[in-house]
Homo-oligomer: A and B are copies of this chain.
Amino acid sequence: MDRTVIGLDVGGTFIKAGLVDRRGRILARVKEPTEASGGKMQILENILSALQTIEESPLCRRRITAVGLGVPGLINLQQGVISTSPNFPGWKNFPIQKMLARRIERPLFLENDANAAALGEKWMGAARNSRDFCFFTLGTGVGGGLVLGGKVWHGADGMAGEVGHITIDPQGPRCLCGNRGCLEAYASAKALRWMVREARSAGRASRFFRGLTWRQIDGESIHRAAKEGDRISLEAFDRMGSALGIGISNLINLLNLERVILGGGLSAAWRFFIPALRAEVKRRAFRAPAQRVKIVRARVGEDAGVLGAAYLAWQGLGIFPLALQSTVD
């Protein structure tokens, strides 16, 4: 077996691509800027250029038989069209599958980026041996992938899994999607920044953010401040945890899942939000399904999207991806 596939993960900032074998080993990798502001044709060119870099890499002696592609947004899978994408406003009703397939000249399998990352965790990470789980990416926003019966749950049009946009509090803060009180308005880096800003305007100055411009205050700096005991940051993570706990309780009561997996950059702040999260689940979810579900951190990290896209490509070829060995209890 000398075949490989390419997994592509198109994010708001970077395009990541990996040459992946059937066992989930990444044999070569590329990370290039997305240049989202350059418009959709520019992004397409950058995707193709990342592919080409992989193909021309000296490590790439194997035959590339398919490409898996994870992109952010609501995707109509039947049509291969991105319906809307918050990160790429120009991609409204964008027929990405058709436009790329023509130039890639290989089978191309499209997926929402968070769904792809969920598959990456299933293949190589915290969702191994799990058939029914929800994967959260806690980053700039909150993305999600729902896997039911071992498969990504797409719903009627391929747009399911938007866990970041379930309502936590109907009177809560405004979300970029237009709604109020979405999970994303509490459990994302964007939301944490708002909370810090709110505290600031309420006259609660924190020495940890003194001297930082508004742009420099991000998930990481708030995490650092929390580590040093900053009240405002600790409170922000507490609110994040409560909101996640409410959302996860809804999932438990509705879907009776085996696992909930929290990934994305903000999941590094696990210990600051997990107590409030678990308290909320204890309070709100039915006992039996709440005792059943395991709430765990993602394991694959940054590569989840690339691996998941590759997994999709293998599956699309009708080849069952193998796993090296189980790393999960």
* A interface list, Cβ under 8 A from B: 74, 76, 83-84, 132, 146, 148-149, 153-163, 165-171, 177-180, 242, 246, 249-251, 253-258, 283-284, 286-289, 292-293
A179 to B148 Cα, complex, angstroms: 26
Q: Does the CB pair A177–B250 fall under 8 Å?
A: no
Q: Does the CB pair A157–B283 fall under 8 Å?
A: no
Q: Does the CB pair A154–B256 fall under 8 Å?
A: yes
Q: How far is the CB of A181 from chain B (nearest CB, A)?
A: 9
Q: Can you identify 23 A-B contacts, CB atoms within 8 angstroms? A: A76-B288, A83-B288, A149-B149, A155-B256, A155-B257, A155-B289, A156-B258, A156-B292, A156-B293, A157-B256, A157-B292, A158-B256, A162-B253, A166-B254, A167-B246, A169-B169, A169-B170, A170-B246, A179-B283, A179-B284, A180-B284, A250-B250, A254-B254
Chain B residues positioned under 8 Å from A287 (CB to CB): 84
Chain B: CB-nearest residue to A283: B179
Contacting A256 at CB < 8 Å: which of B156, B242, B284, B288? B156
Q: Does the CB pair A167–B289 fall under 8 Å?
A: no
Chain B residues positioned under 8 Å from A162 (CB to CB): 253-254, 286
A83 to B286 Cα, complex, angstroms: 11
Chain B residues positioned under 8 Å from A288 (CB to CB): 74, 76, 83-84, 157, 159
A258 to B155 Cα, complex, angstroms: 8
Contacting A286 at CB < 8 Å: which of B156, B165, B170, B242? B165
Q: How far is the CB of A171 from chain B (nearest CB, A)?
A: 8
Chain B residues positioned under 8 Å from A157 (CB to CB): 256, 288-289, 292
Chain B residues positioned under 8 Å from A84 (CB to CB): 286-288
A250 to B160 Cα, complex, angstroms: 11
A217 to B289 Cα, complex, angstroms: 35
Q: Does the CB pair B167–A155 fall under 8 Å?
A: no
Q: Does the CB pair B256–A166 fall under 8 Å?
A: no
Chain B: CB-nearest residue to A171: B169
A198 to B258 Cα, complex, angstroms: 40
Q: How far is the CB of A69 from chain B (nearest CB, A)?
A: 20
Q: How far is the CB of A78 from chain B (nearest CB, A)?
A: 12
A249 to B178 Cα, complex, angstroms: 13
Q: Does the CB pair A155–B284 fall under 8 Å?
A: no
Contacting A254 at CB < 8 Å: which of B74, B146, B283? B146
Known: A153-B255, A160-B255. A167 touches B249 (CB 8 A): yes
Contacting A253 at CB < 8 Å: which of B166, B169, B178? B166
Q: Which of A179, A180, A257, A292 has the most CB of B within 10 A?
A: A179
Q: Which of A159, A171, A253, A286 has the most CB of B within 10 A?
A: A253
Known: A156-B257, A256-B156. A286 touches B74 (CB 8 A): yes
Q: How far is the CB of A151 from chain B (nearest CB, A)?
A: 9
A256 to B250 Cα, complex, angstroms: 16
